[in-house]
Amino acid sequence: MDASRLQGIGMTSRRTRERLAMRLGDAGITDVHVLNVIRQIPRHLFVDEALASRAYEDTALPIGHGQTISQPFVVARMTEILIRYGIPQKVLEIGTGSGYQAAVLAALVPQLHTIERIRPLHTRSQALFRQLGIHNIRQRLGDGHLGWPGAAPFDAIVLTAAPAIIPPALFEQLADGGQLLAPVGDDRGQRLIVYRRLGEEIEEEAVEDVSFVPMLEGTQR
């Protein structure tokens, strides 16, 4: 990506980002910190240049390898939920993809860890974070079913790919009082569910119907 593309953020994108933030506000996103981050992050850099003009529409877009960058409303909603009891210090994301959700979170929390199973997506997001000067993200190429035991416990865990059931390792790596947010289901239907760990108990609350790519096993190199 060349410098002109970064500078191209200019007036147009700032205005279109403002419009997106306003639209998300109308759609029910109330957290001003989240809306401010949506205003700041250049989402067009997280999609293919051919799709850049559509980057500020409230839709999911393809990012190659059969994957998608999540819809801005869903990113905002998930982020809002993750910070509702205060800012979690250390967060784990499963499914780096384009890196957009990671960049949004990293603007709000001190430490973000993210795992991606497809090498080219892992590599591309790594370059983008560096280019944008984002330094509080640690990345790993691997299978998110295993979590990141060496960095656990996490104050929050977010899945951006849908498992049929939550991998047990992830609950084990969730701190007491922490939230785990995930789309759960299959191609017949998914619901965004927020789990909260309270001692040995797990509290569960369904948020809304969603449509994410499936969480898959193994690593694609």
**Which range touches ligand SAH (CB under 6 A), out of 28-36, 67-75, 147-155, 183-191?**
67-75
Residue 1, classified by CB atoms within 10 Å of its CB into exposed (0-12), middle (13-18) or buried (19+), is exposed
- Region binding ligand SAH by CB under 6 A among candidate stretches 11-19, 90-98, 126-134, 171-179: 90-98
* 42 binding ligand SAH? (CB under 6 A): no
The reply to whether 68 sits near ligand SAH by the rule CB under 6 A is yes
Work out which of 56, 73, 100, 129 binds ligand SAH, going by CB under 6 A: 100
CA dihedral defined by 118, 91, 214, 55, rounded to 10 degrees?
Answer: -80
Answer for which of 17, 43, 124, 145 binds ligand SAH (CB under 6 A) is 145
Question: Does residue 118 bind ligand SAH (CB under 6 A)?
Answer: yes
Instruction: Give yes or no: 70 in active site.
Output: yes
Q: Does 79 participate in binding ligand SAH (rule CB under 6 A)?
A: no
How near is the Cβ of 48 to ligand SAH at its closest, in Å? 12
Question: Does residue 13 touch ligand SAH according to CB under 6 A?
Answer: no
**Residue 183: CB minimum distance to ligand SAH, A:** 10
Q: How many CA atoms lie within 13 A of 118 on its CB side?
A: 18
Residue closer to ligand SAH (CB basis): 116 or 155: 116
Which residues are designated catalytic? 70
Residues engaged in binding ligand SAH (CB under 6 A): 67-70, 94-95, 97-98, 100-101, 115-118, 121, 143-145, 160-161, 213, 215-216
